Amino acid sequence: MYQLHNFDQETFLRDYWQKKPLVIKQGFRDFIDPLDENELAGLALEDSVDSRLISQHKESWHVAHGPFEDINAHCIGAWSLLVQKVDQFIPDADELMRCFAFIPHWRMTDLMVSFSNAKAGVGPHIDQYDVFIIQGKGTRRWQIGLPGNYSESLPHADLKQISDFSPVIDEILQPGDIIYIPPHHPHNGVALEDCMNYSVGFRAPSQQELLTSFADYALEHNLFNKRYKDQSVELRPFPGEIKQQELQQFKRLLLESVNTPHFDHWLTQYLSETNRLSSNELNEEDKYSEAEISELLLSGVYFVRETGIKAMFTEQQSTENADFIFFVEGQMFSIAAEHKNFVLNFLNSPNFSLESQKKPEICLFFTQTLAKLVNSGFWFPE
Ligand code: SIN
Ligand code: CO
């Protein structure tokens, strides 16, 4: 349903990604919103959904966090409702987000959807992450500036804004237009009328996040117990001194843990986790046996990928005939290397049936993996 137009991926990656903001006029032709504001408000009532309502009334800013019991109570003055991870709940929103999969899945965070009434916005601010913002229904004026030293203000404890900036882009977006904003570029979007916006966000883990998660993995799997050792100790005038070569040895000791297959395994697992807001894992009594999955496959049933699910794997280094390993939401799956291409096609398709493949032998090698994917709540038979 959604397809990008007026956009060259290679030029974008070369000239704009992480470098310069860009407006893509009519990136989506005849754009149809994947959901409306009522559905968005419905999501914001649910416990498992992360949402905020930011409003400005008589010069003062208010921020309320979902889940909301009475959302209308907060819709005063100019207001925006922002809901995270909508791709995990609305299949068409997931499809819209996947139009940007020329940037790898592991770099994407989620699709944040906002509804704003006339004059609303979250104020001028700076984000740490790249974002594509798609204009849905309505129109909105977007101003984007260049990175610089801007003074920050907190008009509300949960709302970071900046002082004014000089825009290098100042455009009124129409439905189907897209803007790309690189990290650290100040921006401000003000709705000219009721409008919907879809933000495809990208993640860039920090050293701190990586170190913390890798250390947790090491503890969980009881890895890296090798200790510092020295057969020759240099004499020194002060016993408190740590020699440069000793520092180097410590660095080598730590680097050794990074230069292991454990690191590759942890990183793929880590990047595959989107911290899904709700688990669809089947209860023990509802789980499918491999025989049941095989029967469903042979009867031509469609297996549908759950909305928002993305599989990840590391590029294989050598031609060795090891199993093909992939991760979904931190869970590992493996299949004989010879079936890699089949599995890649499967993972890339929103739905799959044996009927469309006309190859019953697929059952023989695929049932076990498919049963695991279904029982984990990542695919479901329709
Ligand atoms: C929005 O209000 O939809 C986007 C907010 C932002 O600029 O990040
Ligand atoms: Co922003």
| CA–centroid distance, residue 103 to ligand 2 (Å) | 19
In sequence order, which ranges of the chain are alpha helices (DSSP H)? 9-15, 37-43, 91-98, 207-220, 244-258, 261-272, 290-298, 340-348, 354-357, 362-375
| CA–centroid distance, residue 42 to ligand 2 (Å) | 23
Domain check: are 108 and 216 in the same one? no
Residue among 309, 308, 280, 302 at smallest CA distance from 375: 280
Domain membership of residue 119 as a residue range? 9-202
Ligand nearest the Cα of residue 126 is: 2
**Top mutation candidate among 53, 63, 82, 195 for ligand 1, by most atoms within 8 Å of CB:** 82
Q: Which of 183, 202, 221 is the last residue of a domain?
A: 202
Q: Tell whether 279 is covered by a domain.
A: no
Ligand 1 atom nearest to 80, measured from its CA: 2
| CA–centroid distance, residue 273 to ligand 2 (Å) | 23
CATH number of the domain encompassing residue 372: 3.40.366.30
Domain check: are 65 and 179 in the same one? yes
Domain check: are 191 and 53 in the same one? yes
Q: Tell whether 57 is covered by a domain.
A: yes
Would you state the pLDDT for residue 319? Answer: 62
Domain check: are 186 and 78 in the same one? yes
Ligand 1 atom nearest to 113, measured from its CA: 3
Strand partners, 172: 141
Domain check: are 114 and 255 in the same one? no
Q: Tell whether 270 is covered by a domain.
A: no
Residue whose Cα lies nearest atom 5 of ligand 1: it is 122
Q: Which of 179, 202, 225 is the last residue of a domain?
A: 202
Domain check: are 224 and 334 in the same one? no
Q: Tell whether 115 is covered by a domain.
A: yes
Looking at the structure of the chain, the number of domains it has is: 3
Query: Could you list the pLDDT tens digit for every one of the 382 residues in the chain?
Result: 899 999 999 999 999 999 999 999 999 999 999 999 999 999 999 999 999 999 999 889 999 999 999 999 999 999 999 999 999 999 999 999 999 999 999 999 999 999 999 999 999 999 999 999 999 999 999 999 999 999 999 999 999 999 889 999 999 999 999 999 999 999 999 999 999 999 999 999 999 999 999 999 999 999 999 999 999 999 999 999 999 999 999 999 999 999 999 999 999 999 999 888 888 999 999 999 999 999 999 999 999 999 999 999 999 876 666 899 999 999 999 999 999 999 999 999 999 998 777 777 887 899 999 999 999 999 999 9
Task: Tokens for 321, please give them.
Answer: 């005939």
Q: Tell whether 353 is covered by a domain.
A: yes
| CA–centroid distance, residue 200 to ligand 1 (Å) | 10
| CA–centroid distance, residue 198 to ligand 2 (Å) | 11
Q: What is the pTM of this model?
A: 0.94
Domain check: are 19 and 156 in the same one? yes
Residues 324 and 310: their CA atoms lie apart, in Å, by: 16
Domain check: are 54 and 130 in the same one? yes
Domain check: are 18 and 125 in the same one? yes
Residue whose Cα lies nearest atom 1 of ligand 1: it is 114
Q: Tell whether 370 is covered by a domain.
A: yes
Domain check: are 136 and 218 in the same one? no
Residue among 307, 270, 266, 54 at smallest CA distance from 158: 54
CATH number of the domain encompassing residue 160: 2.60.120.650
Q: Which of 155, 174, 202 is the last residue of a domain?
A: 202
* Ligand 1, CB cutoff 6 Å, lining residues: 80, 82, 114, 122, 127, 187, 189, 197, 199
| CA–centroid distance, residue 17 to ligand 1 (Å) | 19
Q: Tell whether 1 is covered by a domain.
A: no
Ligand 1 atom nearest to 131, measured from its CA: 8
Ligand 1 atom nearest to 121, measured from its CA: 2
Domain check: are 139 and 35 in the same one? yes
Residues 25 and 176: their CA atoms lie apart, in Å, by: 7
Domain check: are 62 and 177 in the same one? yes
Ligand nearest the Cα of residue 121 is: 1
Q: Tell whether 327 is covered by a domain.
A: yes
